[in-house]
A = this chain, B = another copy of it.
Amino acid sequence: MAGSTGQGEAMQAAPDGAQPERAGLRQTTYLEAIREAMWEEMKTDPTVFIMGEDIGTYGGAFKITEGFLEEFGPDRVIDTPISEAAIVGAAIGAAHMGFKPIAEMQFIDFIAPAFDMIVNFAAKVRYRTGVGAPLVIRGPCGGGAHAGPFHSQNVESYFANVAGLKMVAPATARDAKGLLRAAIRDPDPVLFFEHKYLYRRIKEALPTDEEIVVPLGVARTHRPGSDLTVVTYGAMLYKAEEAARTISDEDGCELEILDLRTLRPLDTPSIVDSVRRTGRVLIVHEAPRFGGFAGEIAAQICEEAFEWLDAPIRRVTALDTPIPYSPPLEEHYLPQTDDIVSAARWLLAY
Q: Are A150 and B120 in contact (CB under 8 A)?
A: yes
Tell me the residues in window 306-322 of chain A with beta carbons closer than 8 Å to chain B beta carbons: 306, 309, 311-315, 320-322
A303 to B301, CA, bound (A): 13
Write the chain B residue with the least CB distance to A301.
Answer: B302
Whether, in the assembled complex, A264 has its beta carbon less than 8 Å from a beta carbon of chain B, the answer is yes
Given contacts A303-B314, A322-B128, are A162 and B120 in contact (CB under 8 A)?
Answer: no
Of B112, B120, B163, B313, which contacts A302 at CB under 8 A? B313
Q: Are B291 and A160 in contact (CB under 8 A)?
A: yes
Q: Are A311 and B315 in contact (CB under 8 A)?
A: no
Give the residues in chain B near A12, CB-CB below 8 Å.
none
Tell me the residues in window 51-103 of chain A with beta carbons closer than 8 Å to chain B beta carbons: none
Q: Are B109 and A120 in contact (CB under 8 A)?
A: yes
Stretch of A132-140, A213-221, A227-235, A292-300 lying at the B interface: A292-300
What is the CB-to-nearest-CB distance from A48 to chain B, in angstroms, rounded to a whole number? Answer: 27
A120 to B115, CA, bound (A): 12
What is the CB-to-nearest-CB distance from A87 to chain B, in angstroms, rounded to a whole number? Answer: 14
A266 to B163, CA, bound (A): 25
What is the CB-to-nearest-CB distance from A316 to chain B, in angstroms, rounded to a whole number? Answer: 12
Give the residues in chain B near A297, CB-CB below 8 Å.
295
Whether, in the assembled complex, A257 has its beta carbon less than 8 Å from a beta carbon of chain B, the answer is no
Of B150, B158, B162, B299, which contacts A161 at CB under 8 A? B158
Q: Are B322 and A299 in contact (CB under 8 A)?
A: no
Write the chain B residue with the least CB distance to A120.
Answer: B112
Give the residues in chain B near A116, CB-CB below 8 Å.
112-113, 115
Q: Are A287 and B158 in contact (CB under 8 A)?
A: no
Give the residues in chain B near A163, CB-CB below 8 Å.
288, 290, 320-322
Q: Are A312 and B321 in contact (CB under 8 A)?
A: no
What is the CB-to-nearest-CB distance from A340 to chain B, in angstroms, rounded to a whole number? Answer: 16
Write the chain B residue with the least CB distance to A162.
Answer: B291
Q: Are B313 and A290 in contact (CB under 8 A)?
A: no
A105-142 to B contact mask, C-beta < 8 Å, 1/0 = 00001001101100110011001100000000000000
Q: Are B298 and A127 in contact (CB under 8 A)?
A: no
What is the CB-to-nearest-CB distance from A303 to chain B, in angstroms, rounded to a whole number? Answer: 5
Q: Are A315 and B291 in contact (CB under 8 A)?
A: no
Q: Are A123 and B322 in contact (CB under 8 A)?
A: yes
Whether, in the assembled complex, A19 has its beta carbon less than 8 Å from a beta carbon of chain B, the answer is no
Whether, in the assembled complex, A164 has its beta carbon less than 8 Å from a beta carbon of chain B, the answer is yes
Q: Are B113 and A127 in contact (CB under 8 A)?
A: no
Give the residues in chain B near A160, CB-CB below 8 Å.
157, 290-291
Tell me the residues in window 229-262 of chain A with beta carbons closer than 8 Å to chain B beta carbons: none
What is the CB-to-nearest-CB distance from A106 to chain B, in angstroms, rounded to a whole number? Answer: 14
Of B264, B302, B306, which contacts A290 at CB under 8 A? B264
Using A128-B149, A264-B290 as known contacts, list a sample of 9 further A-B pairs with CB atoms less than 8 Å apart, ordered by residue number in A. Answer: A113-B116, A119-B158, A124-B322, A157-B160, A157-B291, A163-B322, A266-B290, A299-B315, A303-B313
* A interface list, Cβ under 8 A from B: 109, 112-113, 115-116, 119-120, 123-124, 127-128, 149-150, 157-164, 264, 266, 287-288, 290-299, 302-303, 306, 309, 311-315, 320-322, 324
